Amino acid sequence: MNSVLILGATSAIAAEAAVLHARRGDRMHLVGRNPAKLADVARRCSAVSTAAVTTAVADFNALDANGAVIRDAVTALGRLDRVLIAHGDLGDQLASERSFDDAESILRANFTSAVSLLVPLANELERQRHGRLGVITSVAGDRGRPRNYTYGAAKGALSIYLQGLRTRLYPTGVTVTTLKLGPVDSPMTRDHAKHPLFGKPAAVARGIVAAVDRGAAEAYVPAFWGAIMPLVRATPERVFQWLPFLSGR
């Protein structure tokens, strides 16, 4: 039985991951912003397991409070065997081009808030000399595209941060997994036109849990993005700009 902390537990993907851990008998501490949704995820977990599930309400954009979020989680669980950071927000790309406040909001939701959690988390995991940490980023962070480059910049920065953190923690036996997700058919993308490359939350959650379990350094979820994104990254910028399906809005 593992002790599992999920931050951003009310997202569709994180909720599915929580149920997977519950089925394995893991103890969990779930943190999210919406109390009603958080209670619903806890009920789903308790319906498939007798293991303890505790919850806490937090807004990760309140950066100064995130140290206390982690301290309270350690108190609730005693130790951290698995941690998943799953929160984020696509935001409004066009608004972020008109207003720095909107741009900063996207950067805070997807990068700065994650770092404010990772600093105390890394220190705790380093002290333990044990644990597996998974952090959801995005394929959008692999290449800047006009339709979402503010969000992509935040996720790309997070991926770089995790590279350094992974190497820092390597001597302690702690693993850090960068989870590069493609688009997922979830409430976060409800206004987006869907295509066959969209993942489903349950399947994506299985990929996430499996990647963290094996201590992968980096995992594309679904895995086929691992074949697609090297081609996208390698496309010369001038060619990239000529291809509407890559450079369009």
pLDDT digits (tens, 9 = 90+) for 112-151: 999 999 999 999 999 999 999 999 999 999 999 999 999 9
Q: Residue 240: what pLDDT?
A: 83
Q: Residue 109: what pLDDT?
A: 97
Q: Residue 107: what pLDDT?
A: 98
Enclosing domain of residue 237? 3-247
Residues of the chain with pLDDT below 70 are: 186-196, 245-247
| CA atoms of 182 and 223, how far apart (whole Å) | 9
Q: Residue 143: what pLDDT?
A: 94
Q: Is the pTM of this model over 0.75?
A: yes
Q: Are 98 and 28 in contact (CB under 8 A)?
A: no
Q: Residue 241: what pLDDT?
A: 86
Q: What are the strands of the beta sheet with 175-181, ordered from one edge?
A: 53-57, 27-32, 3-7, 82-85, 132-138, 175-181, 218-221
Work out the number of other CB atoms within 10 angstroms of the CB of residue 244. Answer: 8
DSSP state of 199: B
Q: Residue 192: what pLDDT?
A: 57
Query: Which CATH number covers residue 13?
Result: 3.40.50.720
Q: Residue 189: what pLDDT?
A: 58
Q: Residue 191: what pLDDT?
A: 63
Q: Residue 186: what pLDDT?
A: 63
Q: What domain count does the chain have?
A: 1
Q: Are 89 and 111 in contact (CB under 8 A)?
A: no
DSSP state of 146: T
DSSP state of 57: E
